[in-house]
Amino acid sequence: MPTGEWSIKFPNLAIASSPAETLGLDGLATISRQIPPAAMPPFRRWADLPPDLLCRIGDSLDLKCYASARGACTAWRCALAPPSPSLLVVLDDARCCPAAASLPTHRSFELKAILSGGRCVGSSNGWLALSVCLYGGQSMFSLFNPITATEILLPPLIYESRWVSKLVFAPNPARDDFAAAAICDIDRLAYVTAGARRRVPPGSVGPDLNAPATVEPLLSDVNLPFDPATSFAPPYNTVSVFTSAKNLVFCEGNLYQIWRNASCTVTLQLPGGGHRRVAENEVLVLRYYPRRQPCWDAVTDLGGYSVFVGRNNAVSMYAEGVLGLKGNSVYWIGGRGRDQGMVFDMATGRSTPCLPAAGVVAGAPQSTICWYFLSDMVNNCNNNEGRRVYQTRARVRADRELEDLEE
């Protein structure tokens, strides 16, 4: 009954009424008993959703919603694998729609279309720096967010005829607040800030130009002026001439150079005698020691970290135990013919293709743009097992010491 009562009716029988009995109009005695309402199951929090259900939901989300879902709470962040690092690729068709092929999630996220003919010259914190060739041989530069389709046009470059090989910019750019610097050819630098009408070399002043800027040395005064013959330990002082692809990257507070022989295999005759073979696409990792001379020397591991170099800002992250990644590796873009994602294992000294488990379109020709990170600072992300994986070695040691004390 709706009231939670049950009753027994005895026809043609008069029963004395009591507090637990009632006499109906038909002369029938009704014995009533209150039944307590059924206990409601305890309310389950959104954070208690089963991880496999969360993963199924996450598979249908775009990159923006997926990243937002991971930020909802700790439980969801543990259940959903981080989307970065991703390999940004574009199908070789007329749509110019890039996709972020995520290594940890084994899936691809479709992104907003970029301007046709755009060439990527930089990437940082989810943004792309694009160069678009205009009529007459001039180029237009812009910052583009392929998640939100936000675009920021940059002032014209003062070196109109110079090839821009790399463009870097400050995080979180806005139309009224940005700063960018471009490497023109191999020996010129131009920069621009919001409010300027042209990008200029450092030190230039004038109407509608940037505020004056200076270039400060990165290395210690002890190691200046820089001389490859004395700065690199043998045989790398000779090898440096034949490694045209070079990147600087900070990793765990240390400065590294990543070299790659982007030409062909060569055998070098060393000044002190002997030979050194440098294979095609061989990768070398050198660490900076400011108090030594020579101050750069090769290393054989990165303490569990891996670095990602290319048109993107160089990024380092702790990769041991991360699904889809290898520690002590260099992720780069290149190879024979069409650019592709490659991973160099420092332990084996070999590079192999880095292919996401789920491609954009299986078998479809595509062009690799760069490594793509939503944030260049990836120290606090989690994997799908709930433990920190993008963390510093100091954090790892502290966690292990805490575990030892608890035992």
How many Cβ atoms sit within 10 Å of the Cβ of residue 97? 15
Q: What is the per-residue pLDDT for 118?
A: 79
Pairing of strands 329-334, 305-308: parallel
CA distances from 282 to 258, 329, 344 (A): 10, 13, 9
The phi and psi torsions of 259 (rounded to 5 degrees) equal: -105, 145
Q: Taking a C-beta distance cutoff of 8 angstroms, is the pair 133, 98 a contact? A: no
**One domain for residues 87 and 27:** no
* Number of domains the chain is built from: 2
Tokens of 260: 């790659």
How far apart are the two ends of the chain, measured CA to CA in Å?
Answer: 57
State residue 395's pLDDT score.
Answer: 45
Q: Which residues of 257-282 are buried (b: 16+ CB within 10 A; e: fewer)?
A: bbbbbeeeeeeeeeeeeeeeebeebb
Euclidean distance between CA atoms 382 and 80, whole angstroms: 9
Pair (235, 360) in one structural domain: yes
Does residue 322 form part of some domain? yes
Task: Show the domain range for 238.
Answer: 81-406
196/251 same-domain check: yes
Residue type at 100 in one-letter notation = A
CA-to-CA dists, residue 404 to 199, 206, 397, angstroms = 56, 63, 11
14 and 90 in a single domain? The answer is no
Q: The domain that contains 327 carries what CATH number?
A: 2.120.10
Rounded-to-integer distance, Cα 400 and Cα 393, Å: 11
The answer to whether residue 62 sits within a structural domain is no
Whether residues 25 and 149 share a domain: the answer is no
Q: Mark whether 172 and 312 lie in a shared domain.
A: yes
Output the pLDDT for position 15.
Answer: 43
Same domain, 123 and 193: yes
- Would you say residue 68 lies in a domain? no
Model pLDDT, residue 37: 65
Does the residue 47 lie in any domain? no
Q: What is the pLDDT of residue 302?
A: 95
Question: Per the domain annotation, does 285 fall within a domain?
Answer: yes
Going residue by residue through the chain (407 aa), what tens digit of pLDDT does each one get? 444 444 444 444 444 444 444 545 455 455 555 666 666 666 678 888 899 999 999 999 999 999 999 998 999 999 999 999 999 988 765 557 889 999 999 889 999 988 777 788 999 999 999 988 777 667 788 999 999 999 999 887 666 556 888 899 999 999 989 989 888 877 788 888 887 765 555 555 545 556 677 777 777 777 777 787 788 988 998 898 888 889 999 998 899 999 998 888 888 888 878 888 988 889 999 999 988 889 999 999 999 999 999 888 899 999 988 888 999 999 999 866 567 889 999 999 999 988 754 445 455 556 788 999 998 765 433 333 333 333 434 444 454 454 444 44
C-alpha span between 11 and 13 (Å, rounded): 6
Q: Is residue 23 located within the same domain as residue 159?
A: no
Judgement on whether residues 378 and 272 belong to the same structural domain of the protein = yes
Query: Residues 24, 105: one domain?
Result: no
